[in-house]
Copies of this chain bind each other. A is one copy, B any other.
């Protein structure tokens, strides 16, 4: 079986132009019990379409929908923009009245509630859809969601399918928000094969190539905030904007750690596009002088000191209180280690560059300040790799999610 798995995922057994077009890719769709190949194929397509909403729909989930009859697509659509039509409604609208008797596939349970748009369940029933196949259950709608609503009205409903962990891997911040508390936190690390994020001796060098760096900009667009530690903004003065293939609907808020109160208005993260909303997190005693120095650029947030630095859990609570639902942390190494040690990281985007730093490099996974080396070992117990890796030029992106 491993062989099949491998072959599928390197592309073998993919269909030619007219061969059977649907096969298991060894990813989450392998974990879709009870669906035949046609349903799996259309549901895959719906999930893929949903991804087009990256950076544009959050805090809504990314959702895609396909309407098909007799193995032929009649219409398809993503949820393209926050506040715009849901995927199901968009696909049906494109069809006019020609959806009667068709099957609708959606990557999320159709909504049964009126929000910014009318409920999709009603639109589906109104269009005469005979059968609905959906992937993820709407969080909080275990009873009385759109699936149940449609079932009661005689529509043949198949769903939810697969595993919650896969739904969450696809729409992590959305499912995290449904579970509550602090923002969803993703950590980006670019490492060499010997586990370093930089050569030693203070030398600065890109480990990854331009394709991977461009992907980082695309990833930024899907988060509410971008967090960096003191050393990073001091050394790099980054803009912390999303200058990639996706223009974010709402630019992510730069968040700078600044325990000692050293930030000033000249920092690019405060002057760039997102600057109006930037947040500078300081120890309580020094916030006032930073505020004076910023001259209205950005908000100063006092955060208690804990152990060797700012209390990162308290910072996350402060960000949540300001409406930040997801945080993309780009370093540096000490911040990353502290977040990991504090159990505050939900996902790691690990870019692996095909090179070796050799002796004296800066370790990607050092102990956090005050932590023993052996504590580091337990850090990723229970973590899972559910998304498939992606190559960017010579570099490889591995996405790991905290288990449970």
Chain A interface residues toward B at CB < 8 A: 1-7, 9-19, 21-22, 25-27, 38, 41-42, 44-45, 47-49, 51-52, 66, 68, 71-73, 76, 191-196, 199, 211, 214-215, 217-218, 244-246, 350, 352, 354-360, 363-365, 367, 373-377, 379-381, 383-385, 387-396, 398, 400
For the complex formed, measure the closest distance between the CB of A365 and the CB atoms of chain B, giving whole angstroms.
Answer: 5
Dominant secondary structure at the A interface:
mixed
How far, in angstroms, from A3 to B389 measured CA to CA in the complex? 15
How far, in angstroms, from A71 to B245 measured CA to CA in the complex? 33
How far, in angstroms, from A379 to B387 measured CA to CA in the complex? 30
Contact among B4, B25, B193, B367 with A364 in the assembled complex (CB-CB below 8 Å): B193
| With A17-B68, A385-B394, A398-B396: A3-B380 Cβ-Cβ less than 8 Å | no
Contact residues in B for A352 (Cβ distance below 8 Å): 350, 352, 398
Residue of B nearest to A26 (CB): B391
Q: Are B21 and A15 in contact (CB under 8 A)?
A: yes
The 4 closest A-B pairs by CB, nearest first: A359-B373, A3-B245, A195-B195, A16-B45
How far, in angstroms, from A126 to B46 measured CA to CA in the complex? 46
Contact among B2, B215, B364, B388 with A2 in the assembled complex (CB-CB below 8 Å): B215
How far, in angstroms, from A12 to B380 measured CA to CA in the complex? 28
Q: Are B215 and A6 in contact (CB under 8 A)?
A: yes
Contact residues in B for A350 (Cβ distance below 8 Å): 193, 352
List 8 additional A-B contacts (Cβ < 8 Å) besides A7-B51, A9-B390, A17-B38: A5-B215, A11-B27, A12-B52, A17-B45, A17-B68, A18-B71, A358-B375, A389-B391
How far, in angstroms, from A195 to B366 measured CA to CA in the complex? 12
How far, in angstroms, from A76 to B13 measured CA to CA in the complex? 12
Contact residues in B for A390 (Cβ distance below 8 Å): 6, 9-10, 388-389
How far, in angstroms, from A42 to B16 measured CA to CA in the complex? 5
Contact residues in B for A381 (Cβ distance below 8 Å): 355
Q: Are A11 and B388 in contact (CB under 8 A)?
A: yes
Q: Are B396 and A377 in contact (CB under 8 A)?
A: no
How far, in angstroms, from A358 to B364 measured CA to CA in the complex? 11
Contact residues in B for A193 (Cβ distance below 8 Å): 191, 195, 350, 364-365, 380
For the complex formed, measure the closest distance between the CB of A141 and the CB atoms of chain B, giving whole angstroms.
Answer: 25
For the complex formed, measure the closest distance between the CB of A245 and the CB atoms of chain B, giving whole angstroms.
Answer: 3
Contact residues in B for A379 (Cβ distance below 8 Å): 356
Q: Are A388 and B387 in contact (CB under 8 A)?
A: no
Q: Are A194 and B400 in contact (CB under 8 A)?
A: no
Contact among B38, B374, B389 with A389 in the assembled complex (CB-CB below 8 Å): B389
Q: Are A18 and B388 in contact (CB under 8 A)?
A: no
Contact residues in B for A5 (Cβ distance below 8 Å): 211, 215, 392
